Structure 1
Amino acid sequence: MSDAVQNNLTNTRLAWIAGVGASAGLGAALARRFAREGLSVVVTGRSRERLDTVVAEIQRAGGQALALPGDVTSESDLAAIARQLAERGTLEVAIFNAAGATRAPTLDLSAEQFEAAWRVTTLGGFLFARAALPPLLVAGRGSLLFTGATASLRGRPPFAAFASAKAGLRSLTQSLAREFGPQNIHVAHVVVDGGIDGERLRTSAPQRAAERGPDGLLNPDEIADSYWHLHQQGRSAWSQEIDLRPFNESF
């Protein structure tokens, strides 16, 4: 994709979404949803190729988007992206959608694997918040949203690393909400309680998609609708946490 196309962000209202991968995934669905509402969307993830695909989809639909790849565990990467955002407009909403989905029985789980899950999910969330909050505070308003999971609320094998990391992220969002809510920054955590009907699940566990049947998985576009609703909430009735689950999911 040419620099001319990449740099064509004329709208000053920005949405920054970290953790964008496949087009058939939640990160991409979030990007499309906020672009449809007229925001210029900046997408961050590890794969430039996948980001460019999402950007091209948004632009074909008449929206504005920019790919800024980066590693959410790198403070310097996120700081560099935040500086570019400041040059392009006003950050209105920042969404952290990255996660380290380590899966292994506890006695087979290495310390390195455990730490890697924490680094992407918990440390990454902290570093993203550190990068996104200054421009939101300068604007005097905005939303800082985080993607959680069933594991945010309860742990089970073989997800000891993932659950610990997601629980840490949830606690982080509560701390951020209490600190920055009084400064007009809406911090919210979304518990996605069930499988997402996207590329990751259908590639890694296609049998699960078949077993769940109709209404057994969460539609990424419908999840994205809830994030937009959170961003639109009036501050007399802010949600700090919501949970979303498919019709056929028990809880």
Structure 2
Amino acid sequence: MYNLIPPLLRKKSKLQGCIVVIGNETHSLSQLFVDQAHNSTMLVYQVQHDPTQTNLKIEQQDSGLKRVRLNLINPTALKNLVGYIQRAGHSIELCIFQADFSKSLSNSDASAQQVEQLWQNTGLAAVNIAQAIIRQMLIKSQGTLIFLGTQPNLIAENNGLTQSMFASIRALAQSLAREFHPKGIHITYCMLESWHSQNVVLMDSVKNMCWHLYQQPDSTWSQELSFGV
């Protein structure tokens, strides 16, 4: 499926590189990327999951930053996002997906509906994002996709659901890295100690880590990284 690049997309050239940051608590991180990418004139798209959206919703446009709301579990919405970015004259060079740290559930408290929602908003969303973003990156055989997860030892023992969720995203990243590293796509899973969007020091450190991974030469690509401040 990934190799089936439409001829129209193959003709796209001279697109300006951009950064896509996906997650529900990523405003501070996105703004830091605006400052980081200023010299390279890379626009930043901040994408937030909204299950009520049937298509894209452009909420606000700042200098260097566009905010988009869409349903991440809808593959068509993600396809439309990629199309919107391309029509704007941009090509995704760096994409960061922040899995939702705040929705962890303990085994005893979770209902079937909550389990399904957790999986859809994290695991299924990660799969859909990977499909849409990698397909676009293959056009130029270039790009970096980073999954931000957590360290397994930091999740409570009774929280097997959350452990399984992050383990599935980690396994997905490893599988994609094996398949697409030879094709010019850098895919990394980063294990964080915590996620606090209002912690400026933490967000700046995460930004620097992602930027470092983006700038790595292909001979030194990291497939997995454990990160703590």
**TM-score, with normalisation over the residues of structure 1?**
0.73
Q: Which residue of 2 aligns with 1:78?
A: 78
- Mapping for residues 179-198 of structure 1, pairs under 5 Å: 179-193=179-193, 195-198=194-197
Larger helix fraction of residues = 1
Q: Which residue of 1 aligns with 2:48?
A: 45
Residues 175 and 31 of structure 1, relative CA distance in 2, 3 Å threshold: farther
Residue by residue over 1:89-115, the C-alpha shift from the partner in whole angstroms, topping out at 9 and shown as x without a partner, is: 222112112326333432221122122
Structure 2 residue identity aligned to 1:115: E
- Mapping for residues 1-251 of structure 1, pairs under 5 Å: 12-21=16-25, 23-24=27-28, 26-30=29-33, 32-35=35-38, 37-46=40-49, 52=60, 55-56=61-62, 59=63, 64-88=64-88, 89-99=90-100, 101-151=102-152, 155-193=155-193, 195-199=194-198, 219-246=202-229
Query: What is the aligned residue count?
Result: 210
Structure 1 residue identity aligned to 2:102: A
Residues 180 and 11 of structure 1, relative CA distance in 2, 3 Å threshold: closer
SS class of match (1:68): strand
Cα offset, 1:65, TM superposition: 2.1
CA distance in 1, matches of 2:172, 2:72: 16
Residue by residue over 1:120-147, the C-alpha shift from the partner in whole angstroms, topping out at 9 and shown as x without a partner, is: 1111111001111111000121111111
Structure 2 residue identity aligned to 1:129: A
Cα offset, 1:191, TM superposition: 0.6
8 Å contact 2:34–2:43 — kept in the other structure?
Answer: no
Larger strand fraction of residues = 2
Residue by residue over 1:54-86, the C-alpha shift from the partner in whole angstroms, topping out at 9 and shown as x without a partner, is: x53xx2xxxx22222112122121111011122
8 Å contact 1:15–1:40 — kept in the other structure?
Answer: yes
Shifted more, 173-182 versus 157-166: the winner is 157-166
Residues 120 and 27 of structure 1, relative CA distance in 2, 3 Å threshold: farther
Residues 50 and 141 of structure 1, relative CA distance in 2, 3 Å threshold: closer
- Structure 1 gaps of 5+ residues are 1-9, 203-216, 247-251
Q: Which residue of 1 aligns with 2:9?
A: none
CA distance in 2, matches of 1:116, 1:100: 14
Cα offset, 1:181, TM superposition: 0.5
CA distance in 2, matches of 1:197, 1:154: 15
CA distance in 2, matches of 1:176, 1:136: 13
Cα offset, 1:21, TM superposition: 3.5
Identity of aligned residues (%): 23
Structure 1 residue identity aligned to 2:42: L
CA distance in 1, matches of 2:57, 2:19: 20
8 Å contact 2:57–2:68 — kept in the other structure?
Answer: no
